[in-house]
Amino acid sequence: MSAGVYLHIPFCKSRCSYCDFATDVYKSSETVERYVNALIKEISSFEFGKNPPAHAGGSDLLIDTIYFGGGTPSLLIAKQVEKILNAVKTRFNLQPGAEITMEMNPATVTPESLAAYRSLGINRASFGVQTFDDTELKRLARGHDANDARETFRLLREAGFKNVSFDLIAGLPRQTLAEWENNLDEALKMQPEHLSLYLLEIHEGTPLAEQIRSKRQPVPDDELAAEMFELMLDRVTAVGYQQYEISNFSRPGFESRHNSKYWRLEPVYAFGVSAHSFDGRQRYANERDTAGYVKLIEEKMTAETMRENIDAASEYIFLGLRMTNGIGLADYQKRFGTLLIQNYGRELESLSESGLVELSEDNLRLTRKGMLFSNDVFSVFV
């Protein structure tokens, strides 16, 4: 089994109102360079776990995905990306044909920067559109307009990116069903290889949560969000995209190989501020504050602030159920030495009667209704 590597780049041009990720506004090139150097130091000093998984083999540990997430990784100059990739390739055994993804935001790339990224091996772009409505973009403090998104997509194609993913969010404040349909129509017209279509989640501590609390923005309409989800499924699958996870759709062969590792409970080694790793047995996380992360790496060579054993059987269920293929019951038995139906028979019967899951002799998966109420299903197994 090959692992993945995640690299967190926290810097953004501005902070979106809904964002709950560990991000910082880009203040100076010196600050970014210091962070990049800390990130490289963390990668270079990485030891394959205080409790390495059984398949780990020192520097021979195989990886077949690298993911630059954020934040806005496309704010990095090519030389910084090159140094980070070189550190990863030195510490890990990167397999031929690996998927190497970079998250990008509109108006943060040029033909020159995209050409440089491609020359370094970046072969997949995850493109943060969120909405094609300029009014909604302003409400979200996105820092770009819809034309920026269209132009950036054109530049990606001209630079030779043949694997592009769009992110869009449904259920934005004051968004109507017709406006969401327009977003879908425009995205489908551009024909990206992959679509990540999310229902808005409100996180405490974000500007959007405060705006809703103070009634400057309306409370999200759950019934409208359900209609948007149904419309999304119908429109996207009707034109040839396959739903392979609750919020993710792709043309055949363009599923996100990296993100699928999380849903299959496969190892991902993560580096950078707030990065969360899973080594096959334990999950561990870094310091969430960027300046604090850099200081810890510079002084102690580690920024780890949490390490815990996980209930692998439980996580395997609720993460695996995010995938439309669901969970193989024989695979569950082989992996954990126990029968899923014996452990959760009563709960599964109730979920099945409610129309939330489909259970067969060899498979458990969510129904369409179950996808909409997935958090209720997952809570049974936590």
Q: Is the pLDDT of residue 55 over 50?
A: no
Q: Is the pLDDT of residue 22 over 60?
A: no
Q: Is the pLDDT of residue 74 over 90?
A: yes
Inside any domain, residue 298: no
Q: pLDDT at position 42, please? A: 97
For the CA atoms of 195, 201, 205, 211, what is the dihedral angle to 10 degrees? 110
Phi, psi values for residue 152, rounded to 5°: -65, -40
pLDDT in tens, 116-142: 999 999 999 998 888 898 888 877 766
Return the structure tokens found at 12. Answer: 């953004």
pLDDT in tens, 295-329: 999 999 999 999 999 999 999 999 999 999 999 99
CA 30 to chain centre: 28
* pLDDT band (50, 70, 90) for residue 26: low
Inside any domain, residue 310: no
Of the candidates 214, 244, 263, which is a domain's last residue? 263
Q: pLDDT at position 241, please? A: 97
Inside any domain, residue 170: yes
Inside any domain, residue 291: no
The residue-averaged pLDDT of 175-194 equals: 95
- For residues 252 and 356, membership in a common domain is answered with no
Name which of 34, 8, 1, 3 is nearest 271 in CA terms.
8
pLDDT in tens, 3-16: 999 999 998 766 55
Q: pLDDT at position 367, please? A: 97
The residue-averaged pLDDT of 257-266 equals: 96
Q: What is the percentage of the chain residues whose pLDDT exceeds 90?
A: 73
Report how far apart, in Å, the C-alpha atoms of 17 and of each of 72, 183, 290 are.
Answer: 15, 20, 19
In the chain, DSSP finds a helix count (H) and a strand count (E) of: 15, 17
Q: pLDDT at position 12, please? A: 75
Q: pLDDT at position 57, please? A: 41
Q: Is the pLDDT of residue 70 over 50?
A: yes
User: 43 exposed, middle or buried (CB, 10 Å; 0-12, 13-18, 19+)?
Assistant: buried
Residues 6+ apart with CB under 8 A from 132: 146, 149, 182, 183, 186, 187
Q: pLDDT at position 271, please? A: 98
Q: pLDDT at position 14, please? A: 62
Inside any domain, residue 303: no
Q: What is the percentage of the chain residues whose pLDDT exceeds 70?
A: 90
Inside any domain, residue 309: no
pTM, rounded to two decimals: 0.92
pLDDT averaged over every residue in the chain: 89
pLDDT in tens, 97-118: 999 999 998 889 999 999 999 9
Q: Is the pLDDT of residue 52 over 50?
A: no
**Radius of gyration (C-alpha) of the chain in whole angstroms:** 21
150: CATH: 3.30.750.200
Q: Is the pLDDT of residue 282 over 60?
A: yes
Residues 6+ apart with CB under 8 A from 219: 212
Name which of 305, 287, 306, 308 is nearest 38 in CA terms.
287
Inside any domain, residue 322: no
Q: pLDDT at position 92, please? A: 95
pLDDT in tens, 185-243: 999 999 999 999 988 776 676 666 667 678 777 777 788 988 999 999 999 999 999 99
User: Range of 342's domain?
Assistant: 327-378
The residue-averaged pLDDT of 148-170 equals: 95
Q: pLDDT at position 75, please? A: 93
- For residues 251 and 348, membership in a common domain is answered with no
- For residues 201 and 335, membership in a common domain is answered with no
Inside any domain, residue 304: no
Q: pLDDT at position 107, please? A: 85
Of the candidates 243, 263, 283, which is a domain's last residue? 263
The residue-averaged pLDDT of 53-69 equals: 71
Name which of 250, 268, 285, 279 is nearest 67 in CA terms.
268
Report how far apart, in Å, the C-alpha atoms of 221 and of each of 17, 175, 176, 196, 300 are.
Answer: 18, 10, 10, 21, 47
Name which of 374, 9, 382, 13 is nearest 199 in CA terms.
374
Strand partners, 33: none
- Per the structure, the count of domains in the chain is 2
* pLDDT band (50, 70, 90) for residue 21: low
- For residues 155 and 78, membership in a common domain is answered with yes
